[in-house]
Amino acid sequence: MSGLKRVLAFDIGASSGRAMLGSFDGIKISLEEIHRFSNDPVSVNGTLYWDVYRLFYEIRQGILIAAAKGEFESIGIDTWGVDFGLLRKDGSLVECPVHYRDARTKNCLPSAFKKIGRGEFYGITGIQFMELNTAFQLFSLVTGRKQIPNQTDTLLMMPDLFNFFLTGIQKTEYSIATTSQLLDAKSKTWSKRIFKALGIPLRFMTEIVPTGTVLGKLRKDLREELSCPAVSVIAVAGHDTQSAAVSVPSAQADFAFISCGTWSLIGTEIDSPLLDERTASLNVTNEGGFGGKITLLKNIVGLWLVQECRRQWKQEGRDLSFSNLADMALSAEPMVSFIDPDDGEFIPPGNMPLRIKDYCLRTGQRVPESIAEIMRCVYQSLALKHRWALGQIEICTGKRYPSIHIVGGGVQDSLLCQLTSNACGRPVVAGPVEATVIGNIAVQMITLGVIPDIAGARKIIADSNPLGVYSPEKGNVWDESYEGFLSVCGIT
């Protein structure tokens, strides 16, 4: 293929997916979006499902389009974390994968902690406790819907499920495995202790393979259907956060980053898991990444709040763009009211503006009434929660990071980038926007031997993408506001 190498990356998020061709000419990585599609969950009889068959149709369409454009060498898929498909022995799905926002895990943590104590649980996995995690989804099944586990032969996390559909091979990639809260962080194997304590059959689980493993070739029937050659399918960092972490354009070994989109993942990269009293008490997550590295993270609600507010107002006949909402936020009086973005009432979909008002009323604050006031409340609360989460990471590592890299879709939100710089009192380096898909492509290129290592990939990524820099504004009033935010929201 002369000097130009091309790979196909699928990045499937909680609301949309896309297929991107990545090309490397020896100097820069360039991207071409060839297919974009929505990811629309479906509620059936009170359960919220992912429409996995539709998603696989869209993956096939992406391969078809890519094949028509010329030669490429491999395919990699990343998705959101924690969710999974359950397969019968013949490889068919027992049911469509259930959405992490489904209510089946509500209030199940106390019951799980009666089976295995919180301290022991964290000491094994090093993962932040959230009801939506795979461990608790499965616990809700084995205690409440036993007919489903009884029909199950194999569990595959979402990117591994799509890889199975493409290759017929059932393996679990390391980064996505760590999101399950079922992995022993030190041994990097499934924890027999947790499976036994929660009553989850260990027989469901497949072999864990390192990030960057070549799984196999595209199935023959798909090659014929899609007019595609026998390209390799590579297990890239299947969790989108870890693909994004690969693309952080830092030349330094120690760096802080925020992978910002529907969720904000704030963290740093370390060599081995931190499983001490500090990380346990702060509920920090040790998530596996490329090269066996650990990403020490706090996972908080991100632009989901803005997305849901916009969706509600659109339903009411006010179709406002994200830039409209940011501009309106700037017009409102600052530091009047705050919310904790991670309060449980903001997790499900629904009327977000009403819930924000109710929260402010319940906490004795001035209630934001206009769209501008609600948006100001959301944006400044997100920025302050970024500061809080970064502080938690710095407590755990004993380091202060002089700047923050923001990668992912949140890079396009200049207001959030600026307010995060203001709140944290340090520069924000913003970019790349397409962090997840670029990290996906970089892992494929490293696996194929086109790029030597992750340090080389990060330099290439920095050279291939424009980066914005935001500096804290003068007259910063955020220190005083931060204390008020923590107090009114009851955050410790």
Would residue 257 count as lying in a domain? yes
**Are 204 and 263 contained in the same domain?**
no
Residue-wise pLDDT for 355-412, tens only, equals 999 999 999 999 999 999 999 999 999 999 999 999 999 999 999 999 999 999 999 9
Would residue 359 count as lying in a domain? yes
108: how many CB neighbours lie within 10 A of its CB? Answer: 17
pLDDT for the residue numbered 477 = 87
**Are 260 and 223 contained in the same domain?**
no
Burial 41-52, CB ≥16 within 10 A → b, else e: beeeeeebbbbb
**Are 399 and 265 contained in the same domain?**
yes
Q: Which residues fall within 8 angstroms of residue 68, CB to CB, at 6 or more apart?
A: 227
CA torsion through residues 13, 16, 17, 23, sign: negative
Tokens of 199: 């009553």
d(CA 261, CA 303): 6
Tokens of 331: 């017009």
> Which residue, 204, 235, 266, sits at the end of a domain?
235
Beta partners for residue 48, in sequence order: 43
pLDDT for the residue numbered 337 = 98
Tokens of 27: 């100097």
pLDDT for the residue numbered 3 = 77
Would residue 438 count as lying in a domain? no
**Are 95 and 231 contained in the same domain?**
yes
**Are 290 and 405 contained in the same domain?**
yes
Would residue 482 count as lying in a domain? yes
Structural domain count of the chain: 2
Would residue 447 count as lying in a domain? no
pLDDT of residue 94 exceeding 50: yes
pLDDT for the residue numbered 1 = 39
> Which residue, 205, 235, 265, sits at the end of a domain?
235
Q: Which residues fall within 8 angstroms of residue 79, CB to CB, at 6 or more apart?
A: 12, 13, 158, 159, 162, 176, 238, 239, 240
Mean of the per-residue pLDDT values for the chain?
96
Would residue 90 count as lying in a domain? yes
Would residue 375 count as lying in a domain? yes
**Are 194 and 274 contained in the same domain?**
no
Tell me the residue range of the domain where 416 lies: 248-431+452-492
pTM: 0.93
Residue-wise pLDDT for 409-452, tens only, equals 999 999 999 999 999 999 999 999 999 999 999 999 999 999 99
Query: Which CATH number fits the domain that encloses residue 292?
Result: 3.30.420.40
Residue-wise pLDDT for 55-93, tens only, equals 999 999 999 999 999 999 999 999 999 999 999 999 999
**Are 280 and 204 contained in the same domain?**
no
Q: Which residues are catalytic?
A: 240
182: how many CB neighbours lie within 10 A of its CB? Answer: 24
Residue-wise pLDDT for 193-223, tens only, equals 999 999 999 999 999 999 999 999 999 999 9
pLDDT of residue 174 exceeding 90: yes
> Which residue, 235, 267, 291, sits at the end of a domain?
235
**Are 214 and 285 contained in the same domain?**
no
pLDDT for the residue numbered 348 = 86
Mean pLDDT in residue range 234-253:
96
**Are 179 and 270 contained in the same domain?**
no
Would residue 371 count as lying in a domain? yes
**Are 229 and 254 contained in the same domain?**
no
Mean pLDDT in residue range 281-309:
96
Residue-wise pLDDT for 7-36, tens only, equals 999 999 988 999 999 999 999 999 999 999
Confidence of residue 115 (pLDDT cuts 50, 70, 90): very high
**Are 209 and 127 contained in the same domain?**
yes
**Are 211 and 261 contained in the same domain?**
no
By C-alpha distance, which of 2, 16, 55 is closest to 437? 16
